Amino acid sequence: MKRKTISTLAITLALAIAAPAAAQDMNTLGRHLENQQWQRLQDHQNRNRTMKPSRNSRENRPSQSRQRAALPACSIDLVSSRDRRRMEAEYNRIVRASGSRKADAWAQQQGRIHARQMRQKGLCR
């Protein structure tokens, strides 16, 4: 009977020691799985946050109407100062030589030419 008591005591002692260890292992596994799940979520969110859409994708290209609306209207303000000074000097020369009617017609022609060039370069609408 003494032997049975000792073996029962040994088994009880072994279970008493092993049960918390098993519970601790389960807790460690649970924490590990939660950590993995959290890392995957973070990786997914970061990947979506930093993904750059391709340049040629259709949804990234603004429509023609939006592109045109974003451009300023063609005006004399878009002409470079060097060209503007040259055109003003020429206008004044034509006024002296041929009168203001001819100079105004020349200025309108030059305005159309410059506007067409700026539109082709994509500087104005």
pLDDT bucket at 46, cuts 50 / 70 / 90: confident
Structure tokens at 76: 């004399």
Of residues 24 and 115, more confidence is placed in: 115
End-to-end Cα separation, the chain, in angstroms:
105
**What type of residue sits at position 29?**
L
Q: Where are the alpha helices (DSSP H) in the chain?
A: 2-50, 64-70, 81-98, 100-121
Q: How far is the C-alpha of 50 from the C-alpha of 57, rounded, in Å?
A: 17
Phi first, then psi: what are they for 115, rounded to 5°? Answer: -65, -45
pLDDT of residue 95: 92
pLDDT bucket at 2, cuts 50 / 70 / 90: low
pTM of the model: 0.43
Percentage of the chain with pLDDT > 90?
13
**How far is residue 119 from each of residues 69, 75, 112, measured CA to CA in Å?**
13, 11, 10
Q: In the predicted model, what is the mean pLDDT of the chain?
A: 75
Res. 43: pLDDT tops 80: yes
Query: pLDDT digit string (tens) for 73-114?
Result: 777 777 788 888 888 899 999 999 999 899 999 988 988 888
Query: pLDDT digit string (tens) for 67-79?
Result: 555 777 777 777 7
Q: Which residues contact 62 (CB under 8 A, 6 or more apart)?
A: 70
Tell me the mean pLDDT in the region 51-62: 56
